[in-house]
Amino acid sequence: MIDTDGFRPNVAIVIMKEDKQVFWAQRASQDGWQFPQGGMRTDETPVEAMYRELHEETGLQAEHVELLGQTPGWLRYRLPRRYQRQHHKPLCIGQKQVWFLLRMLTDDSAFSLDVDDSPEFLEYRWVDFWYPVDNVIAFKRRVYRRALTLLEPMAMRPEGAG
């Protein structure tokens, strides 16, 4: 599903532990690292898409996390031309995302990166809240900074205040 401006609706997920470290995962198809994210289906809300993607990419279920908040509206990023599939119609020039902040309520044993037949991630680690801004692929850095800036106040709330 691509909107009339050429952006694909998508959700992005920041999973955070009590110590404010965030889940950072290595993509299976490339050597890059990123937060879990994925496209929305036409029949689902952003929250429904987030929980579906959360399970598909990490194995986590709703009971393993607490939803602390989400970004208001869509955050957009453009794909560099070399990543655009020029022969697909309609042309997707980028993604528009709703970002979600989740607090992890269990330990790492709940993760399963191979729930899906084609796993999205090879491995993961916990990193400082701001680490991803400087370590994600360059064309996503601006949207990562914007999203984390909007989510940071939610991350500072006491546990159970989400």
In a domain, 114, yes or no: yes
Within 8 A by CB and 6+ apart from 8, the residues are: 1, 2, 39, 92, 94, 95, 96
What is the number of domains present in the chain? 1
Pairing of strands 65-70, 7-16: unpaired
Which pLDDT does position 87 carry in this prediction? 67
In a domain, 2, yes or no: no
Report the alpha-carbon distance of residue 68 to residue 39 in Å, rounded.
21
CATH of the domain at 136: 3.90.79.10
For residue 86, pLDDT over 70 is answered with no
In a domain, 100, yes or no: yes
pTM of the full structure: 0.92
Which pLDDT does position 112 carry in this prediction? 96
What percentage of the chain exceeds 70 in pLDDT? 93
Within 8 A by CB and 6+ apart from 18, the residues are: 103, 104, 159
In a domain, 160, yes or no: no
In a domain, 96, yes or no: yes
Residues in the chain: 162
Which pLDDT does position 159 carry in this prediction? 63
In a domain, 162, yes or no: no
Instruction: Work out the average pLDDT over 99-112.
Output: 97
Q: Is 116 left (phi over 0), alpha (psi -120 to 50) or beta?
A: beta
In a domain, 87, yes or no: yes
Domain that holds residue 112: 7-155
In a domain, 112, yes or no: yes
